[in-house]
Copies of this chain bind each other. A is one copy, B any other.
Amino acid sequence: MTQIVPVILCGGSGTRLWPRSRASKPKPFLPLIGERTIFEETLARCAPFSGPIVVTGAAHLPHVEAQLGTIDAAIVVEPKARNTAAAIALAALRLPEDAVMLVCPSDHHIGDPTAFAEAARKAAALASEGWMVSFGIEATAPETGYGYLKRGEPLDNCGFRTAQFVEKPDLERAKGFLVEGGYDWNGGIFAFQVGRFLGELEAHAPGIAGPVREAVTNGHEQGRLFHPDADAFGKAESISVDYAVMEKTGQAALVPARMDWSDIGSWESLHMARDKDADGNSVRGKAELVDCRNVLVESDGPRVSVIGLEGVVVVVDGDEVLVTSMDGAQKVGKLDGAANQ
């Protein structure tokens, strides 16, 4: 039976969830939805598979090690951030050629882990046949912030050939996809057979494959940590795996995944993912709400009293207070505070 190895990518800054998410403790390491952090949730839903490889930077390493607890994981420490293609390549070069990598971002919420595991098994089955597999997230709204995957011919009752990769569309086009049907969101979750992935990378992105291979060859181990060579890794092109490989391979496939997914990409989407009371309010910390609907309150200490508001987010975190409309939540990352942490 094929070995399925979760490759958990722990990069990302989560500035749109500022001020709760800070450079010093970003989004994956915060308990944003339940009692566990998003990284801990990711580990838990990968538990049915082999011990994971976590790819992360030195800055996040203390959080990763603290939250891994007793989980038997290998950790690859990126000398610097070089986007997803290089990060996945680092993991690939530490694994047997016939293993299947289950590539998971560590900053997504998945409400139905069982559905995730089922989709992962289907994706792994296709991957071990040589397909380069994306998870297709159900497109429930005409989002313009995601890429879309167009389904092609069915494959073995497991998924579909990917007929087309569509970069972030405009609203008109996104609406068209929903009407037309057969489109999924590209959620950045993948299954690749290790040897196949490395072959595709050599073919389509030699500017990544070469430097990363050198970085691993010249790297060194330190307990469960592996440190690739920094100079070599720094020469790798910084491109996403979508651009570097998926849009170029002739073997792209997708597995539809209906698993209550959220990328928690803003306070609005966090609010949607959280449990709410009858008025649609979700509260963490000390708060009193009067005449409020669809309000999110999050406080790390001070009491927050809110009166007569609808569709508003209030976040109190240390020396920062954020108050935004749900629409405005998209602009949080551009605030002075979020930009200059």
> Could you tell me the distance between the alpha carbons of A299 and B314 in the complex, rounded to whole angstroms?
15
Q: Is A332 an interface residue (CB 8 A)?
A: yes
Q: Is A303 an interface residue (CB 8 A)?
A: yes
Q: A309-322 vs B: 1/0 string, CB under 8 Å?
A: 10010101011111
> Could you tell me the distance between the alpha carbons of A19 and B332 in the complex, rounded to whole angstroms?
26
Q: Is A238 an interface residue (CB 8 A)?
A: no
In the bound complex, residues from chain B placing their C-beta under 8 Å from that of A299 are 321
> Could you tell me the distance between the alpha carbons of A322 and B290 in the complex, rounded to whole angstroms?
11
Q: Once the chains bind, are A323 and B304 in contact (CB under 8 Å)?
A: yes
Q: Once the chains bind, are B325 and A307 in contact (CB under 8 Å)?
A: yes
Beyond the given A290-B328, A321-B321, could you list 5 further A-B residue pairs with CB under 8 A, ordered by the A residue number? Answer: A305-B332, A305-B336, A307-B331, A309-B312, A312-B323
**A residues engaging B (CB < 8 A)?**
19, 288, 290-291, 299, 301-309, 312, 314, 316, 318-325, 327-329, 331-332, 334-337
Most chain B CB inside 10 Å of its own CB: which residue of A291, A323, A332: A323
- Knowing A303-B337, A335-B288, say if A308 contacts B328 (CB, 8 Å): yes
Smallest CB separation, A264 vs chain B (Å): 18
> Could you tell me the distance between the alpha carbons of A334 and B291 in the complex, rounded to whole angstroms?
13
Q: Once the chains bind, are B307 and A328 in contact (CB under 8 Å)?
A: yes
Most chain B CB inside 10 Å of its own CB: which residue of A299, A307, A325: A307
